[in-house]
Structure 1
């Protein structure tokens, strides 16, 4: 079925409007400037805060882990390119039998399985480096179980999305309209439900034990005006030695979680990490990210409609429309490419939001010296990349680097009349 030009124009205008709205919202709400304009500039310098051995270890780890990482990215792009630009996917999926919905589900399963089988050795390669550098505490069985869980969840979500697209395309000529609405709603629902449905699959969560640290954290949250019923501890040590904390969900599912590995740090540093997470909660960053992501998903539905309706793509893939169950490969290829291409923009926004949470932690605790000590501990323990090259920075880095965060803390201290740590 060939879509009329008016239908394509309508989808194009909708994509332009949604895209413009998303860009405008991000442009006007992202905290591009974290500290006031009068803040003294401080240049990030890893050599000032990290020993040569620590810098060398960071560079060695980054060099080792980058190889399988780049190969995995290249594999993703190649597979997506084949699915979008050749008839191979349609020919292979055309061999599946059964009702259309079963062929769609089997198609998603087959494509996902094929990609993950190719990625599996690369994942094992990365895991060997994580163990070599002391970051992973898992045995191979536990690693494989976790990886299969991740694959299963991703495949299930992909199957829901692809099945919905094909079903809507079979029923409506302008299926991009309900697809965009459905993508928006699904993104919000998944973000809301993730903390209570998905996170417990990978970790056990227990309330932080009663004691001075817990009391201090809850008192700090109360002083900050952030309603927190409890702070949870994740049993991350059964998987990693890395230190981390995060906030997820919103509304009644919002939770602040700290890794049990983090509790080995001094209490003052734990308080600063939680103060950072309180910054996310106070600014509503999870809800904000969810809504922006939902708008992006709606844009993706419109883009998918245009791509699957575009003559050159239909001719190259041999697929008449998204209503064809053989279009599963094409749809998955477009989704993969969109995810990779949108990554740099997401990272750019994320770095500024994380920096705002850092500034909030400094405002709340007024302790830049401990903040810097905490950042050094996180960077050394997690073997963070202290000076990523430009390509890595754009493509992968979602948080400011440790030297950038330390430089901001020094700038904050000077701005507030304190001695520079």
Structure 2
């Protein structure tokens, strides 16, 4: 049975590796063959130099991603088959740790080890790759400060959650995973509520959007849409990166956050169109649907974990002397993706449909279809997004339609809708 478990895992793991590596290589070849030409629909909207830099950035990030994926594959296989995980569990037991203490120490050590092994890639990505293309603005001191804050935050939140997880496992019987699910769902909802006021300010500064034409335009648009907010804020994203974006956080009265880079790059109408897109997501309940879907996936994952923790062949296949919750969580986190990776294109498909719907709602709400199109082109230009993604790669990985797909969808809107939007 242990050989069957090992063989089954390797079959799925290698299938994932083959599919994802194949798609990444196909995308790189597709981009390389496209050259520096501006796609015809973008002629006059995008200059040749931006197209050249976009291609170079896409190729550099793609090659970096392949190297990082190869390293991650090697680390995963080494952790699973070298015997280091059973040895760590036995070492902790030999030091007198048991129960919740051993569970928390084992998983904390595993998380620390994997983060440490990924550290060189994080450094290279920030101070070599992003620096080369003019995006990085973080100093080494700020980068280190962010990492230390993240470590302390992970410990402050993660360790109590680990102890709580073991408590539900040990004290609530065979239905422990249902109790744990209810607890984790409550924690996630609480964190979404607390994030903008307690967590996000640990890393960035947030200032109310100043009075002026932009604030007046956004507040009026939100009022007309019946969209209640907890305020409009500008985040100092430019301290770390030249990338631009905007986001909402919260369920019922979300806080609207605009990157300062976005405010600097966009016109009033373009910023309004971007915000209207986000409002469209809320009006269509996309955020709530994604939360419900995420909770459903979490429930299914906990049910699978509850079954696996009682299945000795799994632990024998990877060298553990006996089943344990810490071993089951470690094995599921390291190897579980091999059994679910094929769901990625379905998730991407649903997400892209949501983006199309939010674009349509943006046109109806902001009444500026040309501004939305120009905002999308600017976002693509300023972020050097891929102008020539391989169709299979984008179908598998992209949560948003490509720029050309979104522009074509906007142009295909019925004429009456275009006229109402421009009124």
Work out the CA distance in 1 between the residues paired with 2:174 and 2:61. 46
What does residue range 13-92 of structure 1 map to in structure 2 within 5 Å?
46-49=39-42, 50-81=46-77, 83=79, 87-92=83-88
Q: TM-score with structure 2 length normalisation?
A: 0.79
**Are the structure 2 counterparts of residues 114 and 229 from structure 1 closer, same or farther at C-alpha, using a change threshold of 3 Å?**
closer
Q: Deviations over 1:225-259 (max 9, x none)?
A: 1112421111111111222111111135x211111
- Corresponding residue for 2:323? 321
- Corresponding residue for 2:32? none
Work out the CA distance in 1 between the residues paired with 2:192 and 2:346. 20
Deviates more, 1:306-315 or 1:131-140: 306-315
What does residue range 100-249 of structure 1 map to in structure 2 within 5 Å?
100-127=99-126, 128-154=128-154, 159-171=159-171, 172-249=173-250
- Corresponding residue for 1:255? 255
SS of residue in 2 equivalent to 1:175: helix
**Are the structure 2 counterparts of residues 201 and 400 from structure 1 closer, same or farther at C-alpha, using a change threshold of 3 Å?**
farther
Deviates more, 1:160-169 or 1:367-376: 160-169
**Are the structure 2 counterparts of residues 328 and 299 from structure 1 closer, same or farther at C-alpha, using a change threshold of 3 Å?**
closer
What does residue range 283-294 of structure 1 map to in structure 2 within 5 Å?
283-294=284-295
SS of residue in 2 equivalent to 1:169: helix
SS of residue in 2 equivalent to 1:206: strand
**Are the structure 2 counterparts of residues 206 and 355 from structure 1 closer, same or farther at C-alpha, using a change threshold of 3 Å?**
same
Work out the CA distance in 2 between the residues paired with 1:65 and 1:230. 35
SS of residue in 2 equivalent to 1:257: strand
Is there any run of 5+ residues in structure 2 with no aligned partner, and where? Answer: 1-37
- Corresponding residue for 1:28? none
**Are the structure 2 counterparts of residues 167 and 307 from structure 1 closer, same or farther at C-alpha, using a change threshold of 3 Å?**
same
Work out the CA distance in 2 between the residues paired with 1:139 and 1:402. 32
Tell me if 1:364 matches 2:365.
yes
Is there any run of 5+ residues in structure 1 with no aligned partner, and where? Answer: 1-44
Work out the CA distance in 1 between the residues paired with 2:74 and 2:167. 27
Work out the CA distance in 2 between the residues paired with 1:153 and 1:396. 29
Work out the CA distance in 2 between the residues paired with 1:155 and 1:342. 31
The higher-RCO structure (CA 8 Å, 6+ apart) is: 1
Cα RMSD, aligned residues only: 2.9
